Amino acid sequence: MTPPLPASGVFDGKAHLLPVRVYYEDTDFTGVVYHANYLRYFERGRSEFLRLAGVSHTQLRAQDNPMAFVVARMEIDFKKPARIDDALVVCTTYERMERARLHVRQTIERDGELIAQAAETIVCVGLDGRPRRPPQALTDALKAWFLQETP
């Protein structure tokens, strides 16, 4: 038996793996995951990646010049339906950072079978909603995880 992954998931190389169980509340009346819930799974994957990489959303908001992340673009391909009680794994990789933008790729799999995949652009913003470069400490914390070198 494979041991369970920790609640925040684990790193496998530069990829972050987060286990997600499909509950009744995630599905429509047929037992298939409602399409909008994939967004929640992807969000959890991105957030837990950052948490394990040493980036705290709470600390970002508590800075002298607070910041947050917003999704500017998301393209999702739904390959197969996920169903009630499925054990899924959200795989997250941060490809690169360009100024205020983080480029992210994510997949959701069930027993190694691709369920959905997403390409995303996440933007660092001030609390006024305007894009801004992330602080150097954030860039330094993430640099080792990027698949491509940051310009």
Q: Mark whether 28 is an active-site residue.
A: yes
Residue with tokens 């959200």: 90
CA atoms within 13 A on the CB side of 43: 9
* Residue 117 and residue 63 in contact, taking contact as beta carbons nearer than 8 Å: no
- Three-state SS string over 78-140 comes to ECCCCECCCEEEEEEEEEEEECCEEEEEEEEEECCEEEEEEEEEEEEEECCCCECCCCHHHHH
Residue with tokens 């298939």: 32
Residue 109 CB partners (closer than 8 Å, separation 6+): 88, 89, 91, 115
The catalytically annotated residue of 12, 28, 77, 140 is: 28
Catalytic residue list? 28
